[in-house]
Structure 1
Amino acid sequence: MTSTRTPAVWMPFPAEGFDGLPEGFDYHVWDGEQDYPADPADCAFYVVPYMKAATIVSRPLMDMTRVRVVQTLTAGIDHVEPVLDRLPAGVRLCNAQGVHEASTAELALALILASLRGFPGFVRGQDEEEWKAGFYPALADKSVLIVGYGSIGSAIEDRLAPFECARVARVARSARTTARGPVHPLDDLPALLPEADVVVLSTPLNPSTKGLVDADFLAAMPDGALLVNVARGPVVDTTALLRELESGRLRAALDVTDPEPLPAGHRLWHAPNVLITPHVGGSTSAFLPRAKRLVAGQLSRFAAGEPMQNVVRTTG
């Protein structure tokens, strides 16, 4: 591969038919394949392939000696963060705030409703031609606790608004005030969990949230409460959750698991009172057009020497 003096952009979709891309860059498509489309050393702007393993997306970063911006297509950055210290100083890591809020919030609400209203049992009943009538819990009059009140947590509350919940409480890394009410710090969880009928996890994965939902967290939830995870699998201690599910005390609806993908034969597949979806919170028809708008806007700012949006970390 030969070097070029024109700054290169690597992204997981072709530039052809991509509206809004600025001129002055060499655009290369790379979606995690073994072979590189060009010399990584010439890459100035790296759009990280979506939903690929950390080992795959971090591989070219080691050789991107001229990279200035690393743009993820995910809200979380845990899959690239471990290698950032090996990059040159001044590299801006940007996340995909604005891309996944609607889709992830939709799924969170779908998981809540499907679990409370017994949809998994209805589907099994349909397969078995069995009429599973009866009374099931409603979301109305329930108390909901959102753990992780960033843009996704806020979008989840937006969608809870019409459902006549008795209360929505909010928790984030630090306390603040919003138009809807206070956001509590993580230290307030022991006081908030016993009052929560539904706990929704939408927090990023970092050292302070890994294993946050441990045996003590789960024990503080009331009998019959529902845990919904649209964050990252390692936020939850799977062994502790399995104990609560298998005892019948708690229920769970999980879009993410630890380990992930969940391997065949894992106890979680067949635990009682659990609904599992295969990490599809952001994988909807809304993703590609929103991702392209984000990338085009970021590249235009980069070309013009303007500040990047969604900067979550700068190396060095």
Structure 2
Amino acid sequence: MSDSPRIVVSLPSDELAADVGDLPEGVETVVWDLRSPAPRDAFDMVVPPYMSGRRILAALDGVRVGLLQSQSIGYEGLAGYVPDGARLANASSVHETATAELAVGLAIAAQRNLADYVRDQEARRWAPLFGASVADSTVLVLGYGGVGKAIAARLRPFETDIVPVASRARDEDGEHIHGIDELAELLKTTDILMIALPGGEGTRGLIGAEQLALLPDGALVVNVGRGSIVDTDALVAELQRERLRAALDVVDPEPLPEDHPLWHAPGALIVPHVGGASEAMRPRIARLVREQIERLAAGEEPRNVVTP
């Protein structure tokens, strides 16, 4: 008989269980999507479904959990739903690449009028436009963590001037990163504002009417962070004046109501919070979950723990 500790892990689907593959001896996996009563009263690790809402996480009430492994990077608002004594880990390393890919795609689509051309194609209308460009633009990357750095890495070959901004100024790997206290001055020369910040009270409303007003005429706002970072009413006002443009993966509120003016604002390109929703996610989340299980089985600390 093995001396390995017994580890019980809840996975949200048969698909993820199959993707995770063979696990160390002594590990038991249970498929539970948190939409039915808990099949155990205790788990060493629980992986909720992707993009779980608070209603889903309420299923953990009364269940002892060692580690709650989210499938998302963002974790704001989840702390109150983590069972007592449990730790929360996010999915850093899973979504950065796909989110950066979408961010660059949104910038290209907006700069080169691709949404207009799709509408023209549907109408069988040949209407060339002289568009803006990603090349030679000054791109302010607001939020220089994993996603922000991945965006910058993909934009540099487009011959852009990258201006990274984080919570504090610092020099890192030969690059100067500006502090958030410099934002007002930096916005004045920004062609593309690329927002990659996490949500939460610390960033809510960070880009409001005052900050948007500092952007030059024709500037593009791209948001792949959280919708709450941008004052939606202020953004709509700028779009309706046709002074700014926006390409948004995230909005506030979400989902956007059918009658919201942002839907029809001039220069707005909106996609429904799909930054991480690509084929790249499946193998990456499986790799992270497997590593976390192996660490727990070996008595090691898990990765990406964001709460005590």
Asked if TM exceeds 0.5, the reply is yes
Query: Counterparts in 2 of 1:122-133, with a 5 A limit?
Result: 122-133=117-128
Q: Which of the residues 116, 125, 130 maps onto 1:121? A: 116
Write the distance in 1 (CA, Å) between the matches of 2:66 and 2:123: 57
Write the distance in 2 (CA, Å) between the matches of 1:92 and 1:251: 40
Q: Is the 8 A contact 1:22 1:296 kept in 2?
A: no
Q: How many residues align?
A: 302
- Give the fraction of aligned pairs with identical amino acids, expressed as a percent: 43
Q: Secondary structure of 2:307's partner?
A: strand
- Does the alignment pair 1:70 with 2:68? yes
Aligned to 2:48: 48
Query: Counterparts in 2 of 1:73-92, with a 5 A limit?
Result: 73-84=71-82, 87-88=84-85, 91-92=86-87
Question: 1:129–1:21: structure 2 CA closer, same or farther, 3 Å change rule?
Answer: same
Write the distance in 1 (CA, Å) between the matches of 2:201 and 2:100: 24
Write the distance in 2 (CA, Å) between the matches of 1:180 and 1:116: 30
Aligned residue identity for 1:59: A
Write the distance in 2 (CA, Å) between the matches of 1:69 and 1:261: 29
Aligned to 1:229: 223
Q: Which of the residues 222, 242, 254 maps onto 2:248? A: 254
Aligned to 1:299: 293
Q: CA RMSD of the aligned region, Å?
A: 1.7
Q: Is the 8 A contact 1:121 1:132 kept in 2?
A: no
- Deviation for aligned residue 1:17: 5.6
Aligned to 2:29: 27
Question: 1:32–1:221: structure 2 CA closer, same or farther, 3 Å change rule?
Answer: farther
Q: Which of the residues 293, 313, 316 maps onto 2:307? A: 313
Unaligned segments of structure 1, at least 5 residues: none
Question: 1:164–1:82: structure 2 CA closer, same or farther, 3 Å change rule?
Answer: same
Aligned to 2:159: 164
Query: Counterparts in 2 of 1:7-26, with a 5 A limit?
Result: 7-14=7-14, 15-16=17-18, 18-26=20-28
- Deviation for aligned residue 1:124: 0.7
Q: Secondary structure of 1:195's partner?
A: coil
Q: Secondary structure of 1:78's partner?
A: coil
Q: Which of the residues 181, 196, 202 maps onto 1:187? A: 181
- Deviation for aligned residue 1:233: 1.2
Question: 1:16–1:102: structure 2 CA closer, same or farther, 3 Å change rule?
Answer: closer
Report which stretch shifted further, 175-184 or 293-302: 175-184
